[in-house]
Amino acid sequence: MSRRVREARGGLGLRRTVEGVRKLQYGKPVATMRAYLRAMAEASYKSVPPPAAPKTVLAALGPKMLELSAESADGAHPYNVTPEHTRQARALLGAGKLLCVKDLGVSDHAQAALAAAGGAMA
């Protein structure tokens, strides 16, 4: 697993952003996100309340973060995933949760898919 992929699994951002820019302690992704969601739920709202409660959707790729999305959020937003990942995410989330997928390079032709994904990632 590359360093960038390992860092991207940090729950609230890349390790270098969390520790370097934000000056926060980098923790285990699911535990960090669970604590963040709990703090957000307990925070006081001091503006005009919205007509309906805002939705919370987590940027979730792995099964543990998808399970947290099902348990403690309104859904998940996986990015740059395959149709198979989308099927697995839907199964983990269940029918009542949002699944806001960003697929890059989905095509019946491998070369077209690689070209589309490569252009978007550039």
Nearest to 100 by CA among 90, 113, 114: 90
pTM over 0.85: no
Half-sphere exposure of 27 (CA within 13 A, CB side): 9
pLDDT tens sequence across 40-76: 999 988 899 899 988 999 999 999 999 999 999 999 9
pLDDT tens sequence across 80-101: 888 899 999 999 999 999 999 9
Please report, for the chain, how many H helices and E strands are present, in that order: 6, 3
Q: Domain map of the chain by residue range?
A: 1-46, 56-122
